[in-house]
Structure 1
């Protein structure tokens, strides 16, 4: 500090230094690496190596105490959501790749987790760096993070958000700068946990949640119940910790997915073939709405998850291992075919913090090509007079309305047939399709079109 600097400035600097100075224990700084931070770093390493966040999370968090589990989740998910913002604060291009995630973890704690003391963020990151690269790496990380802790200008208030630039620019072109910024900001916040009644009705589920100390409110558009956690999103419970999970009192399903099932408009008693059905939430919802459901998926492990979901929820869904391309059911048998197509999932990026970094324009093109193929096979299964419901959790036109428009050009025996008053008008496009947008409607992004075959 220069001599003659204002006292307020000197006081601010002393406060910053104090915040970075850890308490002493036996004359030494506390340098242990907590289990939560080790787990968070390992999750990030596995994601970098190609694992999905969900798989890496489940591998690392199961053995942790509840408090460590919450912190590890917040650290790993937060770094992934905010990676672009963090990288604008760090010299990532010149950093040893082994230290990048350590620096990101430290920076995230300093900039976003105000409940974590700066000394804890710095010293635990330094200890991790020492394990990876020795004293030289530890000194480098210590210097960078201590400088960041003292620099109030490094607050992450960047309007560009934390998304790949090609995707951010794509959304700016489509939605405009302000609306795109709102969408990206929503993706950077952990979403609410929404539950749909299964074996329990909504009143019983609400009572059990409140008795266990959870706040609860009706989800948007009356589509389920939301668990209220207050401002600290890391307190959002794992579904298995919520009363009623083991008993099948509920399934976890966002309001958007529940509304898609309503939009499907399957007549009571209709035979619905739910293709690409895992993990099974829509199959359960359709059965509860009065349909007879056959649910299939091509992967045996995913079919196991699908069967477990149906069994826990107590619904009579028939589950099969089936590839839609090989026509698992006789053509003309189903009254309704629901194709919940594999997609880029840009409508659920808040739930999958690694998804934005996996996506590319090439992957988007591949997804659209696969959807076209699946749509043709799904259309061939629908009986004359029956319905094809095409759905995604994507926001991208190539995966949504463009797919339906192209199918209607190829199959003149299909036409749009939106159901009457099954969802609010604000969720129905001018063409008659379902569309929810996270930043407009407060639920996950989703799309659905309901088509009817002549006959």
Structure 2
């Protein structure tokens, strides 16, 4: 059921389904694919914009809604609150949607899942907001920098406080602003050369420009599958930060590479040139299936997909190991608008512990003289520098060996790669390049 039989209801109902499913643990991209599969291209884009926008503006939406709810916003059931947020986002953030259309279509969503009573309640709250009679309510939090920025930019206060302590009041608003911006589409040449990709884009009338640090091409197209060369594996979609990670690894010529947490496969594809073999592994069938699909489309024949647990690597020692560990993902919040509401301090600690275990295990399949690259898409020191420091303290066989393949401005004092959204205009990333010397 999509609600496509009523004008304007299809994309709104799909967006509400995304909000509902994410709240029940489904990743945003998976929920979105499910919800929009029966919609046309324009409606898919609107559904995506609505769902992502609600996550990016949630605190502002809630404070704006609260003044029109007599019993308080905490009294509203989750499904109903999701549809209210959906309507409020259209009224407050989408100028191209007329207020009457935003209210009418959102009430239609409420009627579809909740019946006449819920629809009447939603109609009353949204019409009050549309008429300018709903007062914005401060939903609490102690006064101060973190609380203020948390409310203004719709981020959890505990994360904002961490970033203020690390980046200061000058940089933190820039990071929060970046997280609330829809990311641009960036592609990396794969089976086609860069000049071939550029020629194909030009012929199709698609504009493009170099990504930061020349790490890919920012393109004006919206759907990669409709771009020239996609079916032939001409390119892969990948943020510049991840391409910088592969450049930083710079494996020795001819070395066999083991990519221990490889899905979706972009880094394995980037590293395949000049390798005799790339073993691209991941630990769940779902992730390996996605990995294999991408490798089949865009990788050269020397890349092998493998189902394997990083704690039990099924290979003999090789010349290079890439370990891009699961992490809190705070460097990718612009790309995953729901993620900020799914993370917690407890998860940071558990993921950091897991990363340490993975690093110890991955080191065992690095041959003497080989390279180990530890990488994350996190901004948090517990998942990055602290892990590497602890590992090097406990394993004298390894030492840092920074690469010169990336600009010096991206390296910290220890020679690790540190890419920050607010400074560099890409996702966030961290990597440490370690050489086994014993």
Please point out which of 423, 431, 437 is paired with 1:440. Answer: 423
Give the aligned partner of residue 297 of structure 2: 312
Q: Deviations over 1:29-56 (max 9, x none)?
A: x975521111111111111111111111
Displacement of 1:284 after TM fit? 0.4
Q: Deviations over 1:68-109 (max 9, x none)?
A: 111011111111121122112122312233310111011111
TM-score, normalised to structure 2's length? 0.90
Pair 1:362 & 2:346 matched = yes
Q: Deviations over 1:382-439 (max 9, x none)?
A: 11111110000011000000000000011012111001x2001111111100010111
Give the aligned partner of residue 22 of structure 1: none
Q: Is the 8 A contact 1:31 1:123 kept in 2?
A: no
Give runs of aligned pairs for residues 15-94 of structure 1, distance below 5 A.
Answer: 32=7, 34-91=9-66, 92-94=73-75
Please point out which of 178, 181, 197 is paired with 2:170. Answer: 178
Displacement of 1:175 after TM fit? 1.1
Unaligned runs of 5+ in 2: 67-72, 139-147
439-448 or 141-150: which moved more? 141-150
Q: Is the 8 A contact 2:9 2:106 kept in 1?
A: no
Give the aligned partner of residue 103 of structure 1: 84
Q: Is the 8 A contact 1:428 1:435 kept in 2?
A: yes
Give the number of aligned pairs: 415
Q: Is the 8 A contact 1:334 1:381 kept in 2?
A: yes
Q: Is the 8 A contact 2:63 2:137 kept in 1?
A: no
Distance 1:79 1:368, change over 3 A: same
32-41 or 384-393: which moved more? 32-41
Q: Deviations over 1:115-148 (max 9, x none)?
A: 1111111111122223344444333322322232
TM-score, normalised to structure 1's length? 0.87
Q: Is the 8 A contact 2:21 2:31 kept in 1?
A: yes
SS at match of 1:110: helix
Pair 1:405 & 2:419 matched = no
Pair 1:119 & 2:100 matched = yes
Unaligned runs of 5+ in 1: 1-29, 229-235
Task: Report the structure number with the largest CA radius of gyration.
Answer: 1
Give runs of aligned pairs for residues 36-435 of structure 1, distance below 5 A.
Answer: 36-91=11-66, 92-151=73-132, 159=149, 160-228=152-220, 237-288=222-273, 290=275, 292-315=277-300, 316-330=302-316, 333-419=317-403, 421-435=404-418
Displacement of 1:291 after TM fit? 6.0
Paired with 2:87 and 2:297, the residues of 1 have a C-alpha distance of 41
421-430 or 168-177: which moved more? 168-177
Displacement of 1:155 after TM fit? 12
